[in-house]
Structure 1
Amino acid sequence: MNRFLLMLGCLVLSSCIQMGPDFVRPKAPEGSHFELNSNNQSIPADWWTLFHCQALNQMVQEGLQNNYSLASMRAALISAKEYANAEQGLLLYPSADATLAQTRQRFSPQAFGFPGQPVIFNLTNINVAVSYNMDLFGANHRQIESLMSQTEVQRYQMVAAQVTLASNIATTAISWSSLQEQVTDQENIVQQEQALLRSVQVRVDAGSQPRSDLAIQSANLAQQQANLAQLKRVKKQMQHQLEIYLGRFPGQKPLQSFSLSDLTIPQDVPISLPSEWVHQRPDILVSESRLHVASANLGYAMANVYPSLSLSAGLGSEALTPGSLFSPVSNVWNIGGGLTQPLFRGGALQAAKRSAEAALDQARQDYLQTVVQAFGNVADVLTALNEDQTALMAQQLASDSAATVLSDTHVRYQAGSVSLPVLLTADEQARKTSLLYAQAKATRLNDVVALYLAMGGGWWNQKSTAQQPKTEK
């Protein structure tokens, strides 16, 4: 008995052997550095509150709670976790089953060469069977490691969806707000063009202007009305997209609107250092987890080449009547083990190992490509932010100048010193610069949102509250 226990202990110790490479988390790439400011604050999980707009805050919170795609990914994560837990229970621990059976049998002694007549009897059986597959070379552990890593893939995909949803809600809401302002401006333009048409009509009737000016202004008014209809269509489509992000049916209830002036832009945008950032951005973590899956799968393929050992034992009772089940003479037991060594599989095991090695190399290259693309994404956003302020100031100056020219030209037109085409040219320039200025304001806000998304969205600070950095209107 002591020898058996010693042998069993040696087998248990040997089960700690795990074939294949142990996963090592990739280091942050060297030689890459981003710096927008010297603040280096951590990104809060609720970064959208830094814009200090209550309507925007409510939209993002509603979307995170009610979006159906995000809810689907949460359910998928729970499913993946529970599947991994189920497989872990099957692979790591012994299985035990209790059986109670009642059978009626016919036994013929003559079938075994003994004299006698066939006997019909009842047999009652109760037993507990225990089995355990010894993980001699870590195949089970590698399989569980792979499943757990797949769960991490699902987890970070859900995080990525959550961060992206918050960003999409913010950018869509900002664009929708910008379109609202553009619609309002365009409505004012239509009213101005209608007033100008009436003025031209009076002048034509008085004979001070040619009738062709009336046709020109009528065409110009029709064009502005068409532009207004186009803006309203795009605004409505943007509203429908925003409602879908929030988990609403289009037109289900009114959206709480806000203007771009209700938003403040953080001057000190928090930036994480690359050494932290590559271990925080969800898409990089998804690729890292897939690399872990491939590493574990290689270990599993390598372990399958080696022997596997299974142990089993059973204890029970068999009797002709249920009342005799617990009699000492009815007790039965068994104990045993089996060792299986693959000898010939037609090269399948070695091919599986080579396939796993190639898959690991593929996952490594995919990870590096994801990191490179992520750095490129951040570089693009930082470049845009560096140019946004200059572009916004220049566009504001252009818009103000064009408005001044239009006002002056209108006065001169009323005085009869300039013709209608000159007024319409100034009017067209003022409209274009006003539209570009509104778009520049929205672009700057959206680029700040894009930076928070590019830096990972602060999901790792779920319990933190947004800091209150310096802001500007």
Structure 2
Amino acid sequence: MTAMDAQTTMPADAGPGAQRPAGRACLAAALLVLAGCAAGPDFRRPAAPAVGSYAAGGMPTAAVAARHGSQTFHPGDAVPANWWRMFGSAEMDATVGQAIANNATLQSAQASLRQSQENLRAGHGVFYPSVDAGFSAVRQRASPLRLGVGGAGGLFNLFTLSATVSYALDVFGGERRTVEALAAQADYQRHAALAAYLTLTGNVVNALIARAGYQAQIRATETLVLRQKEQLAIAQAQASAGAVPASVLGIASQLASSQAAIPPLRQKADQAAHLLASLSGKLPAEWQPATVEIETLVLPRDLPLSLPSELVRQRPDILEAEALLQLASANIGIAAAAMFPSFRLDGSYGRNSNTVGGLGAGDAAFWQLGPSASMPLFHGGSLLHRRQAAVEGYRKSMEDYRQAVLDAFAQVADVLTALGHDAQALQAQDEALESARRALELVQANFQAGLVNYLDVLTADTQFYRAQIGQLQALAQRYQDTTALFIALGGGWQSAPAHAVSGVEPKEGRE
């Protein structure tokens, strides 16, 4: 019920004598009703989208199988809290734990959360009376002329001991809406901290996978360079003898291209290491990340897939937008309450005396008690326009919430299709690598039989290592897109124990 819904009526047939007690009863009833009402709309969280899948074609069940394994989706299963452990790397688990404990961005978000929670606790103080005490000791000179009385002024001491009590009667709910706004701000900061936690864990895992992939590609490329150097030396010797001189330039070009590929890979590996140091709250010069070998990582086979109706209740970015929507709703109530009268109940008690000992005298006491009210009459239309501005702010927040949901569903759909494409790409790279391996084995057998020269062996070896580099890139991409799925589904924070998310306690959303 809102304040604008509360109305009182008087019977038309009541006479003047009956109207007075009836009017008092109606007024008392109206005040009681209004005391339970608040201006502005009561917030209701938006309903989840009425869809059964993230993309056309329904919910997936299994990705395309590759030689490194297929991945099966389990719709309705919750994402594990420590999902990164599904990759089977103790080094990865330890690095993520260090980052959660030391990351500056996460700790900043948690400090903002604690700040907003303290502001909310402070805001609840409005529901209690304010009690203050005071004592003053002054020496002053009074002039009777200020009172219109002739005579000489007097010089005296005045000691005052007093206590005041003040209580705001929140008849139209403006204070309650203000506290609701503070609660929404606390919810927003809480979900911002969860978003920082989710982003941190995803970035750490992705950086470890990328660094492992870069290092594996560096090793394969360095081996390729060695083979190409051997190939170039043989070609140069053959050219000196007058055989196949044109192959020298082609091999030299391939060698230079392979050598040129190593520095960018090293730079990317170094950048990943520096990023991991920063994410772990360390300077790059004082911390070395753990080494994760991409060959030792385990591809998660059973992938949880939250239902679309659950996604809007577990994605921190959607919950942030929802908290801002409730804040905008509360702002409408605050602006609406400002258009109604405000009431206060104030009282004070004290004692005055010219001496400290005289404060206990019977005639030293003074007190006052009574209600006060103020009613806005004319503010140049500012109050009405402020309320309308709050309404437009709510509409904006609703559209922002809707866009956050659209972006989230699109992200999940992208990752689901990417995992299928990754499996297809990795399958093709595995087949290319297997074909290159067999071709190399065949050339090596022919070389041992004297059917081909060693240059043919090195050429086949080069093709094998190029296929291996492509396979490593496809494998790393599949690991990273698997990570992206866990992140897109909310990271599993709601499945964690109360203490597990480094100070961010899981909490059920508003109904």
TM-score, normalised relative to structure 1: 0.90
Return the offset for 1:113: 3.2
User: Which residue in the other structure is 1:186 paired with?
Assistant: 221
Return the offset for 1:212: 4.9
User: Which residue in the other structure is 1:397 paired with?
Assistant: 431
Moved more, 194-203 or 409-418: 409-418
**Equivalents in 2 of 1:128, 1:10: separation in Å?**
32
User: Which residue in the other structure is 2:46 paired with?
Assistant: 26
Is this contact kept in 2: 1:45–1:464, CA < 8 A? no
Q: Does 1:155 align with 2:190?
A: yes
Partner deviation per Cα, 1:198-223 (whole Å, 9 max, x = no partner): 33344345x15355544543443333
- Structure 1 residues not aligned, in runs of 5+: 467-473
Alignment of 1:44-443 (within 5 A): 44-89=80-125, 91-205=126-240, 207=241, 209-406=243-440, 408-409=442-443, 417=452, 429-443=463-477
Partner deviation per Cα, 1:171-215 (whole Å, 9 max, x = no partner): 11101101111011011111212222333344345x153555445
Letter in 2 for 1:20: G
Letter in 2 for 1:15: A
Return the offset for 1:71: 1.1
**Equivalents in 2 of 1:38, 1:462: separation in Å?**
20
**Equivalents in 2 of 1:69, 1:427: separation in Å?**
47
Task: Return closer, same or farther for 1:462/1:435 CA change in 2, 3 Å cut-off.
Answer: same
Return the offset for 1:253: 2.8
Return the offset for 1:12: 6.5
Moved more, 208-217 or 265-274: 208-217
What's the secondary structure of 1:125's corresponding residue? strand
**Equivalents in 1 of 2:462, 2:230: separation in Å?**
16
User: Which residue in the other structure is 1:462 paired with?
Assistant: 496
State the aligned residue count. Answer: 459
Partner deviation per Cα, 1:306-350 (whole Å, 9 max, x = no partner): 100122110111000000111111111111222111111111111
Return the offset for 1:9: 10
Partner deviation per Cα, 1:343-381 (whole Å, 9 max, x = no partner): 111111111111111111111111111111111111111
Return the offset for 1:28: 1.1
What's the secondary structure of 2:39's corresponding residue? coil
**Equivalents in 2 of 1:417, 1:44: separation in Å?**
56
Is this contact kept in 2: 1:46–1:465, CA < 8 A? no
Moved more, 140-149 or 432-441: 432-441
**Equivalents in 1 of 2:254, 2:156: separation in Å?**
105
What's the secondary structure of 2:328's corresponding residue? helix
**Equivalents in 2 of 1:365, 1:121: separation in Å?**
68
Letter in 2 for 1:449: T
Task: Return closer, same or farther for 1:214/1:392 CA change in 2, 3 Å cut-off.
Answer: closer
What's the secondary structure of 2:52's corresponding residue? coil
User: Which residue in the other structure is 1:16 paired with?
Assistant: 36
Letter in 1 for 2:365: N
What's the secondary structure of 1:131's corresponding residue? strand
What's the secondary structure of 2:303's corresponding residue? coil
Task: Return closer, same or farther for 1:68/1:322 CA change in 2, 3 Å cut-off.
Answer: same
Return the offset for 1:276: 2.1
Is this contact kept in 2: 1:123–1:318, CA < 8 A? yes
What's the secondary structure of 1:270's corresponding residue? strand
Partner deviation per Cα, 1:217-236 (whole Å, 9 max, x = no partner): 34433332222222212211
**Equivalents in 2 of 1:311, 1:427: separation in Å?**
91
Return the offset for 1:266: 2.3
**Equivalents in 2 of 1:159, 1:94: separation in Å?**
36
**Equivalents in 1 of 2:94, 2:176: separation in Å?**
45
**Equivalents in 1 of 2:183, 2:254: separation in Å?**
65
**Equivalents in 2 of 1:348, 1:110: separation in Å?**
44
Return the offset for 1:388: 2.4
Is this contact kept in 1: 2:433–2:464, CA < 8 A? yes
User: Which residue in the other structure is 2:12 paired with?
Assistant: none
Task: Return closer, same or farther for 1:464/1:298 CA change in 2, 3 Å cut-off.
Answer: closer
Moved more, 173-182 or 393-402: 393-402
Letter in 1 for 2:39: M
**Equivalents in 2 of 1:217, 1:371: separation in Å?**
53
What's the secondary structure of 1:148's corresponding residue? helix
**Equivalents in 2 of 1:42, 1:144: separation in Å?**
34
Partner deviation per Cα, 1:434-467 (whole Å, 9 max, x = no partner): 222111111111111111111110101122999x
**Equivalents in 2 of 1:248, 1:409: separation in Å?**
51
Is this contact kept in 1: 2:76–2:304, CA < 8 A? yes
Letter in 2 for 1:112: L
Return the offset for 1:38: 4.1
Return the offset for 1:285: 0.5
**Equivalents in 1 of 2:257, 2:299: separation in Å?**
35
Moved more, 397-406 or 127-136: 397-406
Is this contact kept in 1: 2:276–2:289, CA < 8 A? no
Q: Does 1:448 align with 2:468?
A: no
Partner deviation per Cα, 1:109-161 (whole Å, 9 max, x = no partner): 23323343211000000000111221110011101101110111111011011
What's the secondary structure of 2:417's corresponding residue? helix
**Equivalents in 1 of 2:499, 2:328: separation in Å?**
37
Is this contact kept in 1: 2:74–2:303, CA < 8 A? no
Letter in 1 for 2:45: R
Is this contact kept in 2: 1:378–1:455, CA < 8 A? yes
What's the secondary structure of 1:248's corresponding residue? coil
**Equivalents in 2 of 1:287, 1:110: separation in Å?**
65
User: Which residue in the other structure is 1:469 paired with?
Assistant: none
Task: Return closer, same or farther for 1:465/1:184 CA change in 2, 3 Å cut-off.
Answer: farther
Is this contact kept in 1: 2:75–2:307, CA < 8 A? no
**Equivalents in 2 of 1:173, 1:98: separation in Å?**
61
Task: Return closer, same or farther for 1:216/1:270 CA change in 2, 3 Å cut-off.
Answer: closer
TM-score, normalised relative to structure 2: 0.83
Percent same amino acid at aligned positions?
34
Letter in 2 for 1:290: L
